Amino acid sequence: MNTRFMRSIILPLGLTSALFLGMLPFTPAKAQTSNNAQITGRVSKYSPMKAPFLKPGSRGQPVRDVQAVLRSLGFYNGAIDGIYGPRTATAVATFQRSQRIVGDGRVGALTWQALRTPVRSVRRRF
């Protein structure tokens, strides 16, 4: 291909793109520390060694708290209803695998600890 032709097209196109991008308004992302702190605060009240063992069929406030944290981390998109059903079990298993824990879908001591301080939060698109 002719290099003179390539320079005559690519250079002006690149400069035009740079100028256009420079004109776009820039708004820095807002930190979500208060929201994240509030969400992880929901499970911080559970000591990993004394927290309830949750599995499909479990119900109550601990299940709601786990669902809320999983939703904030992007692993759960169902209703926060306090019922540990198949969607919650799948979300827990996916979260566990992301934290390099055996993904059995049940919330035991290791999973409680990981929910309190997730090593890597992986945002998933639903």
Q: Per residue in 72-117, pLDDT tens?
A: 999 999 999 999 999 999 999 999 999 999 999 999 999 999 998 8
CATH of residue 37: 1.10.101.10
- Does residue 16 fall inside a structural domain? no
- Does residue 88 fall inside a structural domain? yes
Rounded Cα–Cα distance for residues 119 and 18 (Å): 37
Q: Would you place residue 48 in the very low, low, confident or very high pLDDT band (cuts 50, 70, 90)?
A: confident
- Does residue 124 fall inside a structural domain? no
pTM above 0.85, yes or no: no
- Does residue 122 fall inside a structural domain? no
- Does residue 23 fall inside a structural domain? no
For 56-80, what is each residue's pLDDT tens digit? 999 999 999 999 999 999 999 999 9
Expressed as residue numbers, the domain containing 107 is: 33-116
What are the distances in angstroms from CA 78 to CA 23, 85, 113, 124? 40, 10, 23, 14
Q: How many domains does the chain have?
A: 1
